[in-house]
Chain A
Amino acid sequence: MLAGLAVLLLVALASVMVGASNITPATVLDSILHYDSRNTEHLVIIEKRLPRTLIGIVVGVALGLAGTAAQGLTRNPIADPGLLGVSFGATLFVVLGIAFLGATALSGYVWFAFVGAALASIVVYSVASVGREGATPMKLALVGSAVSAACGSLITAIVLTDTQVLNSVRFWQVGAIAGRGYDVFWQMLPTFVVGTLLALLLGRQLNGLALGDDVARGLGQKVALTRLLGATAIVLLCGSATAAAGPIGFIGLAVPHIVRVFTGPDYRRVLALSAIVGPVMVLVCDIIGRVIAPPGELEVGIVTAFIGAPFFIALVRRRKLPAL
């Protein structure tokens, strides 16, 4: 755990030091201690790289925790926080915002994304809860993918009929933490904090759920309440992350599996380590994206797919995966 934190710190430092333009560490230090807003290098560090690193960390924590919670809640190893319709709902509302309400700046997207994420998840959760058994994993998964498919179709429909929306969305949809200022960071902070606390506190309940609904009830847990709180946490976390950075795939799916290799199945430990591995993964991918294609950059959403996925596959092959 401590090793993890150290790695995170190192990676964060690297994130501030590395970029498309070469800035010496001395200048980096200088920009923090003696900030001069007329110096372009100082501007790059303080206005670009620093918020980028901060948002990367926050997004990584959010996605890591949301992924763990989603898999615990649905008892499905291939569950992804996007399953509750979050990333598609967010994208849909951003698209609606651009197409019909003239949203242009990134900070304008944030609110749309969050509302969309929340609404989609509420719809999924309510529909899945109909009936005596409530929101079973199976129903959550199925309704979630149905709603995601419907949102996806709506998004494509709007985007194909309006070239300008396509042009705005096709870049946002890739998922990136570049170009987001401090305003985006502050906007996502409240929901992020609440979501994080909620998720971390659910560790014991998730352990119970993993044994099966009946066993959990037998142990005195309120299964429906756990599900509700878990879903809320996922929405808050995933919603904030998508609102800030666009839909970054795969982190929520892969992080729990990677973490479980080191911690075993106890959800309390898995959650805690996910909150560290998540941001490390996001920042590492972002750094790679900055240096791999000069003089331009590759977005973090693309790099996570290219690097995270093979790494994940290698992991799946190598270890005997502990059951969920």
Chain B
Amino acid sequence: MAGLSILLVLLATGALLLGKASLSPGEVLGTLIGQGTPMAGFVIGELRLPRILTAVVVGACLGVSGSVFQSTLRNALASPDIIGITASASVVGVLSIVTFGLSGFTLSLVVIGGALVAATTMYLLAWRNGMSAYRLVLVGIGVAAICSGVVSYVLSRSDIQDAQAALVWVTGSLNNSTWKALVPVTVCAVVIMVLVGIFTRPVHTLELGDDTAAGLGVPVERTRLAIIASGVALAAVAVSIAGPLAFVALASGQVARRLLGTGNAGIAVSGFVGAALLLASDLIAQFALPTTSFPTGVVTGLVGAPFLIWLLVRSSRTGTGS
């Protein structure tokens, strides 16, 4: 965890210093202590700083959400990006952009609402004389398939400008990071994470199996419901501000698990991993190629995937893999 924190600070510093508007380290420092030129102040205060903080918050939300889902549903693939949470959020987002032309804070609110509605629907659909995680996952995949169908349809029927803008949103981008959107989102995120902290104390017990957990006195269904609801809310919050950034949720949980050794869910660590992953991806997305910058979502897969593979290979070789 300490290592990750240092990594985060390093990445954040890098992000403050890099950018197309050339500012010397002296100017950056000067602005931070309140002594810079107005334009430097604008660049740091309005452009770079909100972006860094958004990356950290969104990354943490996605990381925690992914880890929560994976432990509760006991399936490595059961992360919000696979079982339709982020997909339904992205459908709501794409439709809002292309059909209604929404943006910014309004868009975020609509997306959160949409994701929560979708999650509730999925839960209700999966509920039949009790909840089965298996059924929930399958329903989620069905929903994700419908959502990706809708997105494909919209992309293939819209004007090219709408298609490009929609594609950026569907991929996930940090370009619209503003203070106005960030503050309420951070507040929500913190509140939900505290809730998660409270609920997840029984999570380790849940991993032993429903019957064992019930025998140990854990109210299985209710705990699971509460945890999943929090996970959904976190994912929705993240998606509402930055779009459905692929792979962060899935990867953070797995990376955290492997960094800590098997058996330990490491929900908090997943948050840190998610934040670091997103910040690193954002830096690469903006500065890797001198002439073009990509939306961040493009890079999360490119950064997370090799790292996860490397970890898998390493743990396989040393025999500590699953």
A and B in direct contact, judged by CB atoms within 8 A: yes
Give the A interface residue count (CB, 8 A).
Answer: 56
Q: Is the CB of A141 within 8 A of B77?
A: yes
Q: Is the CB of B317 within 8 A of A127?
A: no
Contact of B322 among A138, A154, A249 (CB under 8 A): A138
CB distance from A73 to the nearest CB of B (A): 14
Contact of A78 among B77, B156, B247, B316 (CB under 8 A): B77
Alpha-carbon distance A306/B250, docked complex (angstroms): 25
Q: Which A residues, 142 to 164, have Cβ-Cβ distances below 8 Å to chain B?
A: 142-143, 145-147, 149-154, 156-157, 159-161, 163
Chain B residues in 8 Å Cβ range of A257: 138
Q: Is the CB of A317 within 8 A of B128?
A: yes
Query: With A78-B78, A299-B156 given, can you name 8 additional A-B contacts, CB distance below 8 Å?
Result: A78-B138, A138-B322, A149-B304, A166-B160, A174-B152, A253-B145, A305-B146, A312-B142
Check if A76 is an interface residue, CB within 8 A of chain B: yes
Q: Is the CB of A149 within 8 A of B139?
A: no
A-B interface pairs (CB < 8 A), number: 173
Alpha-carbon distance A150/B301, docked complex (angstroms): 5
Q: Is the CB of A306 within 8 A of B305?
A: no
Chain A contact residues, majority secondary structure: helix
With most chain B CB atoms within 10 A of its CB, the pick from A138, A153, A175 is A153
Check if B216 is an interface residue, CB within 8 A of chain A: no
Q: Is the CB of A146 within 8 A of B322?
A: no
Chain A residues in 8 Å Cβ range of B168: 160
Q: Is the CB of B77 within 8 A of A301?
A: no
Q: Is the CB of A166 within 8 A of B137?
A: no
Alpha-carbon distance A161/B128, docked complex (angstroms): 47
Given A141-B76, A321-B134: A301 and B254 interface contact (C-beta under 8 Å): no
Alpha-carbon distance A157/B295, docked complex (angstroms): 8
Q: Is the CB of A157 within 8 A of B294?
A: yes
**Nearest 6 pairs between A and B by C-beta?**
A305-B149, A131-B316, A153-B301, A149-B301, A150-B305, A146-B305
Chain B residues in 8 Å Cβ range of A136: 322
Chain A residues in 8 Å Cβ range of B247: 145-146, 149
Interface stretch (choices B1-9, B12-20, B29-37, B306-314): B306-314
Chain A residues in 8 Å Cβ range of B125: 313, 317
- What are 10 residue pairs bridging A and B, where the CB atoms are less than 8 Å apart in the complex? A138-B76, A146-B251, A146-B304, A170-B156, A253-B145, A309-B149, A310-B146, A312-B138, A316-B126, A317-B135
Chain A residues in 8 Å Cβ range of B150: 305-306
Given A310-B142, A312-B142: A147 and B305 interface contact (C-beta under 8 Å): yes
- Chain A residue nearest in CB terms to B170: A156
Alpha-carbon distance A153/B294, docked complex (angstroms): 10
With most chain A CB atoms within 10 A of its CB, the pick from B152, B160, B171, B306 is B152
Chain A residues in 8 Å Cβ range of B246: 149, 152-153
Alpha-carbon distance A128/B316, docked complex (angstroms): 9
Q: Is the CB of B312 within 8 A of A306?
A: no
Check if B223 is an interface residue, CB within 8 A of chain A: no
